[in-house]
Amino acid sequence: MISDSTRVALVTGANRGIGRAIARGLGKRGCHVYLGARDEGRGRAAERELRAEGLDVHFIRLDVTDEFSVTLAAKRIEEEVGRLDSLVNNAGIGGPPLPPSQTPIEQVRRTFETNVFGVITVTNTMMPLLRRSAAGRIVNVSSLLGSLRHAADRTDPTGVFPPGVFPAVLDYNTSKAALNAITVTYANELRDTGILVNAVSPGFVATDINDHRGVLTPEQGARIPVLLATLGDDGPTAAFLTEDGTPTGRRLEW
């Protein structure tokens, strides 16, 4: 039985990269963590690794593009603990980076299935469980590349890209811009419920998605997502934060 004071968290795409680091970070904060992964073998391997560190982590099969698997995951969480306190929509894909005018429409559809429609599927399916939380938190793992303001100005306040340089990856950037809009839209629906909904750009993190060219470790990239997933009641909603080394992170422009 889970005590009322133990946070129950679900992280999607948590078998590797930033998602696994978020699951680890939440586990270290004493959460009961559901580690979402679409592949059982990869999910169980990550579960074993985090349990060996003494963390309360439980693999749950969840492909964000497969509604049935999302429904089954919600049913299991409902039966086992009856509520969800933190949902971290981390699973994401993108690329290969091609000039927008040469990007196949199939690539755009595929990316939107995961980064946009997958997030809506998971969020809506988990919402009844989140509404039962005393302090529900939704964290959407977005990207600086989804910011329309920074794209239009070609500015990167985090300093990864020099002034005047801003990657234009059609499927990825526009899916994260949609995710940002989704974040604000849910935040506004849920303002009176105590459920806080925020987006985060984890920074340029060395993972498979960028062939490990990133400069931050997954643990560093997980810091702000973990913070947002465990916000106090006085925390923000409809905010877009990134890592900048300060305790609460830096606000990005939408």
Ligand X SMILES: NC(=O)c1ccc[n+]([C@@H]2O[C@H](COP(=O)([O-])OP(=O)(O)OC[C@H]3O[C@@H](n4cnc5c(N)ncnc54)[C@H](OP(=O)(O)O)[C@@H]3O)[C@@H](O)[C@H]2O)c1
Looking at beta carbons only, is 210 or 248 nearer to ligand X? 210
Task: Decide if residue 119 touches ligand X (CB under 6 A).
Answer: no
Q: Which of 7, 8, 11, 17 binds ligand X (CB under 6 A)?
A: 17
Q: Compute the least distance from the CB of residue 208 to ligand X, in Å.
A: 4
Task: Decide if residue 13 touches ligand X (CB under 6 A).
Answer: yes
Angle at 174 between CA 173 and CA 180, to 5 degrees: 90
Task: Decide if residue 143 touches ligand X (CB under 6 A).
Answer: yes
Looking at beta carbons only, is 32 or 172 nearer to ligand X? 172
Task: Decide if residue 92 touches ligand X (CB under 6 A).
Answer: yes
Interacting positions 39-78 with ligand X (CB under 6 A): 39, 42, 63-65
Task: Decide if residue 28 touches ligand X (CB under 6 A).
Answer: no
Looking at beta carbons only, is 55 or 205 nearer to ligand X? 205
